[in-house]
Structure 1
Amino acid sequence: MTATAEPSTSPSPPPRKSVLLDSGFLRLWAGSTASGMATWALPFVLGLAVLRTTLTPAEIGLLLAARTAGFLVAVPLGGVWTDRYSARGVVLVSGALAAAATPVIAVGMGESTLLTACAAAVVGIGQGTTRPAYQALTVEVVDEARRQQANAARTLSVRVTTLVAPGSTALLATVLSVRWLLLITAALWLVSAFAPPRGALSDRAGEHTPGVLGGFVEGLREARRHPWFPAGLAALSTVITFGYSTTSVVLPMISRDRYGTEFVLAGALTCYTAGALLGAVIIARWRPSSQGWAALGALACYGFAPLALLLPVPSVVVFAGYALAGIGIELFNVPWFTATQREVDPRLLGRVSSLDFLVSYGLAPLGLALIGPAVEHLGTTWVLGTSALLCWAVPALVTAAPGTRQFSRNHGRTG
């Protein structure tokens, strides 16, 4: 008589709950969203101060330049400190620093330009050190299987903020002064400081680590170990430096001169944000078989924005070009962040993430500074055409780098 095998009685693993139901991630998401809202709000609120003659155009330019300088200096420091100590500790200190400096801007406006500029630089330092820390903290709080959904949720909150916040802030401005609006952004920085949970990794203050410069160089070496990372960063930086900077400078001119209305300017930016929202929703669940190549192809879609501005097309085509650009940016961003969190040594993730933000965001002001003179000397046709070509060509060219097909060092060109 043949014995029949008994069915297994071991319980199957419980289904993995959505990251949106995880209290630890929700606390992280709340802190990250508050940080993003505070970062976005400062230039908008300072713009309101110019409208109310509390600040002059020259003063707001100085304040924003000081904040950008603080950000660029602090990003590499934040990466090193995140890896040396703890991501949670850096988020706490950074948020508290920005929260303390923001009221100084409110008090100093119209009284002391030097004081407000120094305070704006400190806010930039808090913003810069927070960026790599939140990237590393996501790895500690969310398991790998749910990390892409987590990154999509984080970027979705950023896009909702940019879509909804201008109208909300303008509404608040009807009943609150600029100084009170600045104090609200200080409160948002406090939420960023205290909301996130403690991560899984312990404080590494006792470990032997190199100095700040040596630590950052160690992060550069780790980035070079993943050929897909510098390749993808080159593509992203090209799109930001030439594509995004060009459209930022030229769109207002095209809206005024070709279409004779500010509606095209507002509509294009709204469509870009709406496209990015749609892209974040799509990538929360979509898992393409060649995720790196798909992400780079999506990034190249930004080329449709300068192309739409180049051609004498109806305004609806401009809106469609910007919507495609927005979708493409998020279909790149989320897999890019997720792959970096997966592939990079967790001990060095803060430094590699800081390199990402430093290069991509750091080159944006350079692009903005160069595009204006280029338009004056070469004309909008040459500048827009070159920008569109670069947005398409560079992401296509970097697919030849090893590992770009899957954004992984363990996969060659053929995956």
Structure 2
Amino acid sequence: MPPVIPAPAPAPAPAPRRRPSWAGRDFRVQTAAAFVSGLGSAAAPVAAAFAVLGAGGSAGDVGWVTAARLLPAVVFVLLGGALADRLPRHRVMVAANVGSAAAQAAFAVLVLTGHPQLWQMLALSAAAGTAQAFYMPAAQGVVLAAVDPADAGRAFAFYRLALNAAQIGGTALGGVLVAAVGPGWVLAADAAGFALAAGLRTLLRVPPPARAREASANLARELLEGWQEFASRRWLWAVVLQFAVVMACVLATESVYGPVVAAQRLGGARPWGLALAAQGVGMVAGGLLMLRWRPRRILLAGNWGVLAFALPAAALAASAPVPVLAGAMLLSGVGTEVFGVNWMVALQQEIPAERMARVSAYDWLGSLVLSPVGTAVAGPVAVWTGLTGALWAAAGVTAALALLAVAVPEVRQLRRAQPGVVRAGHPGGVPEPAAVTPG
């Protein structure tokens, strides 16, 4: 009788696929909420610009409406940062999202029911900007605190990929929908997105900061602590000063000059929306790059990305056809992610968690402080120098500042920290910052 050969043991069932260590619950909720609100917010600037133009406004009026949204962000962002380090950050974000939803809904009603007056659009833009001032530092603190430092670069790249996917869909749909159904419905969609994001953020489980229990906490003292943290790092304030001017140039180009050039030379909202969508595609490409690339000198790599910010203004100044403009926008999107991911890594690596929102507030303040001025004077500057001259100036200043920032030793030499060594003050520990050596 032949020997009985035992049947082979069944192969073990594959282990269930686990999420990466950086994809915790709060990180997933915040990413989903940011994606939802980002869809509408990406389309809203196109809708607002064409709402102003459709009501008989000029390029200068578009600049004033944009500035009205930015100015309250500058005025209130420090208060927002102090509150976000004192209160549960998700509650601050929910309240800010509700305020943004209300302002955008009112703007939509005005556009859909008649001819909005300039003062009405200015007031509602200012209300939305005030809400954003309280949202931005809190959101930055939640994302940075929810990430495992060992995988910070990958996590931040993924988070920004989600934002940029929303940017692509929102800008592409924004241009198409503004042309198809008018800007009012796009603004209404933005309001709905903010409302849904507020609901999602109620699911966050952010513990109250320890400082919330300090009855003697003084708001002025807390702002001073944040300033001391900010001013003591030359790499930090040097880049923020750079971005104060760069963002003014970029926002003037994308919020004022771009729509005007599109209306005059490119055929209206649709091609401009497609060009903005190409920028979103570039951001996704940059995010995919940053999922794998871990540059040793994080801010040196990031500032090379800033050079690409000058390309859209140069393409518009040169009266480039839509495909060339879209290519310039795509490359600027890649540069945005190369800078943005490395900047988030630097902040998480170097700034204590309990002061993160206040430092982020100074970061936002510096980056936005000249933006209202830039958008407000964009129209008069274009009248004085000509639209083409204003665009070439924006491109040249942006490129020059990108190169000047690299000349600062602390910017050029700040290195990615090695994993394994932790510093007190960060959730789960954060690698000790690498020394910045001269030369």
For normalisation by structure 1, the TM-score amounts to 0.78
| 1:119 Cα deviation from its structure 2 partner | 4.3
| 1:218 Cα deviation from its structure 2 partner | 2.1
What does residue 156 of structure 1 align with? 161
Are residues 289 and 233 of structure 1, via their aligned partners in 2, closer, same or farther at CA, if it must alter by over 3 Å?
same
| 1:97 Cα deviation from its structure 2 partner | 2.6
| 1:87 Cα deviation from its structure 2 partner | 1.0
> Is 1:274 equivalent to 2:276 in the alignment?
no
SS of equivalent to 1:142? coil
Are residues 209 and 135 of structure 1, via their aligned partners in 2, closer, same or farther at CA, if it must alter by over 3 Å?
farther
User: What letter is aligned with 1:396?
Assistant: V
What does residue 411 of structure 1 align with? 435
What does residue 4 of structure 1 align with? none
> Is 1:57 equivalent to 2:57 in the alignment?
yes
| 1:93 Cα deviation from its structure 2 partner | 1.8
Task: Render the CA deviation track for 1:155-190: whole Å, top value 9, x for unaligned.
Answer: 223322232224435666799786665444333222
What does residue 404 of structure 2 align with? 394
**Deviates most, 301-310 or 312-321:** 312-321
Determine the C-alpha separation between the residues in 2 that align with 1:79 and 1:17: 31
Are residues 342 and 190 of structure 1, via their aligned partners in 2, closer, same or farther at CA, if it must alter by over 3 Å?
farther
> Is 1:241 equivalent to 2:248 in the alignment?
yes
CA RMSD of aligned residues (A): 4.1
Determine the C-alpha separation between the residues in 2 that align with 1:146 and 1:306: 35
Contact 1:78–1:129 (CA under 8 A) maintained in structure 2: yes
What does residue 74 of structure 1 align with? 76
| 1:118 Cα deviation from its structure 2 partner | 4.2
Are residues 406 and 311 of structure 1, via their aligned partners in 2, closer, same or farther at CA, if it must alter by over 3 Å?
farther
Contact 1:254–1:309 (CA under 8 A) maintained in structure 2: yes
SS of equivalent to 1:356? helix
What does residue 336 of structure 2 align with? 329
What does residue 92 of structure 1 align with? 94
Are residues 246 and 201 of structure 1, via their aligned partners in 2, closer, same or farther at CA, if it must alter by over 3 Å?
same
User: What letter is aligned with 1:350?
Assistant: A
Task: Render the CA deviation track for 1:369-406: whole Å, top value 9, x for unaligned.
Answer: 45555555556466267325414422322345585344
| Residues paired across the two proteins, number | 399
Are residues 165 and 338 of structure 1, via their aligned partners in 2, closer, same or farther at CA, if it must alter by over 3 Å?
same
Determine the C-alpha separation between the residues in 2 that align with 1:293 and 1:174: 41
Determine the C-alpha separation between the residues in 2 that align with 1:377 and 1:277: 37
User: Structure 1: where are the runs of 5+ without partners?
Assistant: 1-13
The residue correspondences of 1:175-190 to structure 2 (distance < 5 A) are 182-190=187-195
What does residue 7 of structure 2 align with? none
**Deviates most, 71-80 or 143-152:** 143-152
Determine the C-alpha separation between the residues in 1 that align with 2:318 and 2:104: 44
What does residue 213 of structure 2 align with? 206
**Deviates most, 174-183 or 324-333:** 174-183
| 1:89 Cα deviation from its structure 2 partner | 1.8
| 1:283 Cα deviation from its structure 2 partner | 0.8
* Equivalent in 141, 148, 165 of residue 146 of structure 2: 141
| 1:221 Cα deviation from its structure 2 partner | 0.9
What does residue 366 of structure 2 align with? 359
Are residues 215 and 57 of structure 1, via their aligned partners in 2, closer, same or farther at CA, if it must alter by over 3 Å?
farther
Q: Percent identity?
A: 26
Are residues 396 and 307 of structure 1, via their aligned partners in 2, closer, same or farther at CA, if it must alter by over 3 Å?
farther
User: What letter is aligned with 2:164?
Assistant: R
Contact 2:349–2:433 (CA under 8 A) maintained in structure 1: no
User: What letter is aligned with 1:164?
Assistant: G
SS of equivalent to 1:57? coil
Determine the C-alpha separation between the residues in 1 that align with 2:45 and 2:254: 19
User: What letter is aligned with 2:151?
Assistant: R
Determine the C-alpha separation between the residues in 2 that align with 1:261 and 1:182: 22
User: What letter is aligned with 2:146?
Assistant: V
User: What letter is aligned with 1:346?
Assistant: A
Are residues 181 and 377 of structure 1, via their aligned partners in 2, closer, same or farther at CA, if it must alter by over 3 Å?
closer
Determine the C-alpha separation between the residues in 1 that align with 2:136 and 2:279: 23
Contact 1:292–1:404 (CA under 8 A) maintained in structure 2: yes
The residue correspondences of 1:256-335 to structure 2 (distance < 5 A) are 268-306=275-313, 319-335=326-342
| 1:266 Cα deviation from its structure 2 partner | 6.1
Determine the C-alpha separation between the residues in 2 that align with 1:160 and 1:118: 30
Determine the C-alpha separation between the residues in 2 that align with 1:80 and 1:290: 31
What does residue 220 of structure 1 align with? 227
Contact 2:305–2:339 (CA under 8 A) maintained in structure 1: yes
What does residue 32 of structure 1 align with? 34
Task: Render the CA deviation track for 1:192-224: whole Å, top value 9, x for unaligned.
Answer: 223131224546432156544443232111112
Determine the C-alpha separation between the residues in 2 that align with 1:294 and 1:145: 20
Determine the C-alpha separation between the residues in 1 that align with 2:62 and 2:382: 25
| 1:332 Cα deviation from its structure 2 partner | 0.4
For normalisation by structure 2, the TM-score amounts to 0.74
Determine the C-alpha separation between the residues in 2 that align with 1:190 and 1:384: 36
Are residues 45 and 272 of structure 1, via their aligned partners in 2, closer, same or farther at CA, if it must alter by over 3 Å?
closer
Contact 2:284–2:334 (CA under 8 A) maintained in structure 1: yes
**Deviates most, 62-71 or 334-343:** 62-71
Determine the C-alpha separation between the residues in 2 that align with 1:121 and 1:378: 29
Task: Render the CA deviation track for 1:211-263: whole Å, top value 9, x for unaligned.
Answer: 44443232111112222111222333343234564576666787899x87779
User: Structure 2: where are the runs of 5+ without partners?
Assistant: 1-15, 418-431
Determine the C-alpha separation between the residues in 1 that align with 2:184 and 2:262: 33
Determine the C-alpha separation between the residues in 1 that align with 2:277 and 2:116: 36
Are residues 371 and 345 of structure 1, via their aligned partners in 2, closer, same or farther at CA, if it must alter by over 3 Å?
same
